[in-house]
Amino acid sequence: MDTIKNITIVADSNIASLDEFFNPSMLGQTSTQSVNIVSVAGRDINAQLLADLQPDVLLIRSVTPVGEALLANNQSVQFVGSATIGTDHVDQNYLATHNITFANAAGCSKHSVAQYVLTAILALRPQCWQQSMTLGIIGLGNIGSTLAKYASELGWQVLGYDPLLPASNMNNASFEQVLSQSDVVSLHVPLTDKKSTDKKAKSAKEAENINDDYATRHLINAETLAMMPAQTMLINSARGPVIHASDLEADIERTKRQVVLDVFEHEPQIDEGLLSKLAIATPHIAGYTLEGKLRGTQIIYDALCEKLTVTPTQSMHALLPLNMFLWSELKAHPDRLIKFYDIMQDDAALRNKTIDGQVNGTDFDGLRRDYHLRREWQF
Ligand SMILES: NC(=O)c1ccc[n+]([C@@H]2O[C@H](COP(=O)([O-])OP(=O)(O)OC[C@H]3O[C@@H](n4cnc5c(N)ncnc54)[C@H](O)[C@@H]3O)[C@@H](O)[C@H]2O)c1
Ligand SMILES: O=C(O)[C@H](O)[C@H](O)COP(=O)(O)O
């Protein structure tokens, strides 16, 4: 791609600061070269649009599925960047076999999501500021391990389960122990699927380094929910289908469990039956801080610069206003939580969109598109 004169980029309009990062000067272009950036809603990026525009670069977030259906007739795309941590919407094997470079934004919002989880717990159980409790964490990667650090700052015990990492003082329990012995269980796994006998699908999983003995789709279902005492809170800010939605609804009906969902199995449509039973519900915004979103853009911008063999010159730090949100201040003044993050406002905004027994996809997406990005607390 380093020989391309003019670069055409199709990008999800929800990517933060697109124009500040992806312009001729920041992409090392000379005055005779241009960067043409076409930004559209992520769900509107389709094969026809790519055929019409013939972009060199595709920049997405989590709502654009990327694989054969999108790229079968592609003659132009050489780089796909997803400004997200999750990659379940991208067929990475397809990209690799078609010689298309892929980058995602690993870890970009790890503090934001951990702070979302902490806020949810402390909003529902303010006594946890003072009292120790046991936090169960399923998946101890970037977000899970960051959450564990906040938990230890608050003097909470952590029971962690991650079968793909070595045992440690954090990775210290079985799946059953986490579910049955925690006061709160928080999920931080990628969405992955079970083994396929289809050879092609199997090698795709190998290429993406997914160990499907530990597939996470419906990890939380009627059987595993039955391992959790009724008073155990459950939080999902990973991916919706990690929890079987109708099993969860039946479980809440039976146990009156406190459940916090930022992600939903049938997102972006949300059924009121489930929504009305949740303690807190938000529209997939756990990672939506200014810092989390800009870091996502920065990571894919750096990767594109590498592909173009140019030195990155834009830095998110030049774009960030002063941040006054200090974790040390909040820790000393728990009563300021609502000023740091008013999670119940996000909850109310989602519930207010209920019409005829559901929140429709357009309204769910609208809440995310127009979200007033909060600030990440400085840890
Ligand atoms: N709600 C949001 O706004 C938001 C924001 C960012 C990320 N996410 C989601 O959170 C997920 C986790 O993010 P991360 O940065 O921690 O990812 P990560 O890749 O750093 O960590 C995921 C961890 O899960 C572990 N894991 C995989 N299968 C498991 C299983 N069956 N049981 C237990 N552990 C398992 C992996 O070994 C890994 O350590 C992402 O994949 C993404 O889908 C959501
Ligand atoms: O995986 C991620 O990084 C998050 O789920 C991300 O915040 C999703 O946001 P979206 O791409 O849908 O805007």
ipTM of the modeled complex = 0.99
pLDDT at 4: 56
- Site to probe by mutation for ligand 1, drawn from 90, 115, 188, 195 as the one with most ligand atoms within 8 Å of Cβ, is 188
Pick the atom of ligand 2 nearest to 296's CA. 3
84 annotated as belonging to a binding site for a ligand = yes
Reply yes or no on whether 267 is catalytic.
yes
Instruction: Report the range of poorest mean pLDDT among 116-130, 208-222, 301-315.
Output: 208-222
pLDDT at 143: 98
Location of each CATH 3.40.50.720 domain in the chain: 6-104+290-319, 110-286+339-369
Q: Could you tell me if the CB of 37 is within 6 A of ligand 1?
A: no
Catalytic residue chosen out of the listed positions 284, 295, 368, 375? 284
Q: What percent of the chain has pLDDT over 90?
A: 91
pLDDT at 180: 98
Reply yes or no on whether 317 is catalytic.
no
Q: Which CATH architecture has domain 6-104+290-319?
A: 3-Layer(aba) Sandwich (3.40)
Residue 239 Cα to ligand 1 middle (Å): 9
> Is the domain defined by 110-286+339-369 classed in CATH 3.40.50.720?
yes
Instruction: Report the range of poorest mean pLDDT among 26-30, 142-146, 363-367.
Output: 26-30
- pLDDT tens digits, residue range 222-255? 999 999 999 999 999 999 999 999 999 999 999 9
Residue 161 Cα to ligand 1 middle (Å): 12
- pLDDT tens digits, residue range 311-336? 999 999 999 999 999 999 999 999 99
Catalytic residue chosen out of the listed positions 61, 111, 218, 239? 239
Q: What is the pTM of this model?
A: 0.96
341 annotated as belonging to a binding site for a ligand = no
- State the SS3 of the chain: CCCCCCEEEEEECCCCCHHHHCCCCCCCCCCCCCEEEEEECHHHCCHHHHHHHCCCEEEECCCCCECHHHHCCCCCCCEEEECCCCCCCECHHHHHHCCCEEEECCCCCHHHHHHHHHHHHHHHCHHHHCCCCEEEEECCCHHHHHHHHHHHHCCCEEEEECCCCCCCCCCCCCHHHHHHHCCEEEECCCCCCCCCCCHHHHHHHHHCCCCHHHCCCCCECHHHHCCCCCCCEEEECCCHHHECHHHHHHHHHHHCCCEEECCCCCCCCEEHHHHCCCCEECCCCCCCEHHHHHHHHHHHHHHHHHHHCCCCCCCHHHCCCCCCCEHHHHHHCHHHHHHHCCHHHHHHHHHCCCECCEECHHHHHHHHHCCCCECCCEC
Structure confidence at residue 199 as a pLDDT band (50, 70, 90): low
Reply yes or no on whether 223 is catalytic.
no
